[in-house]
Amino acid sequence: MNPACLKLTSEQLDAIREIANIGTGHAATALAALTDWRIGMHVPRVDIVPLSHFIEIICGPETKAIGIYLAVEGDAPGHVAFLMSQEGAQRMADRLLGLPPGTTKGLGELECSALMELGNIIVSSFLVAIGELTGLTLFTTPPALACDATASILASLASMLAATGTLQKDALTIVTNLEQGESDLEGFFLYVPESQSLSTFLNALYGERPID
């Protein structure tokens, strides 16, 4: 596949959407189990996005956000990020640490550790579901956490994707919103498989030839 010019048919996009829906559903279930909250999930959006427009895939680019990033390794390498507002991250830290709501006013080492473990667990659930569907072996590297404006976090991710050499122009992005309606808490789950991984997924599902 030419990474500078990513093209997929509608049938191939539907197949990727099926993978995304199953994976993100398991991620939402893991988040609900961790927090004992009822978690809602939007249907994943699957789009081909120029890296130069990466900051537009999530609304509120100037919002102060927490981003948890994990690289995906194994049979189909890729990249996952989980983003939430800084206020939402503080409320999530309260929940994870068993503290009364409103206790956390900043994110110290303990709070960041809890949030990174959250990211690790929900991403692992996502990958396990995809692995069961496709028969592929997928695993993550240790999580990293960033605190910045949403646009800055996404711009840094786009630069890192471009630096891999596998996504020179476009990226297939899978984005879904995970919501806890009662507390008005929202997070964004973003998955970007590397270009060759798309052929790996489709071949595992349907025995397709590599994408041109």
Per-residue pLDDT reduced to its tens digit, 29-71 = 999 999 888 898 888 889 888 888 888 887 666 778 999 999 9
94-99 contacts, C-beta under 8 A, 24 or more apart? 95/35, 95/36, 95/37, 96/34, 96/35
Kindly tell me the burial class for residue 93, based on how many C-beta atoms sit within 10 Å of its own C-beta (0-12, 13-18, 19 or more).
buried
Measured in degrees and rounded to the nearest 5, phi and psi for residue 5 equal -145, 85
- In the chain, % of residues over pLDDT 90: 45
pTM: 0.85
Torsion of CA 50, 56, 57, 62, to 10 degrees: 140
Of 11-15, 45-49, 161-165, 171-175, least confident by mean pLDDT is 161-165
Beta carbons of 36 and 168 less than 8 angstroms apart: no
pLDDT given at position 130: 92
pLDDT given at position 212: 46
pLDDT given at position 139: 92
The per-residue pLDDT for range 92-133, each reduced to its tens digit, is 999 999 999 999 998 999 999 999 999 999 999 999 999 999
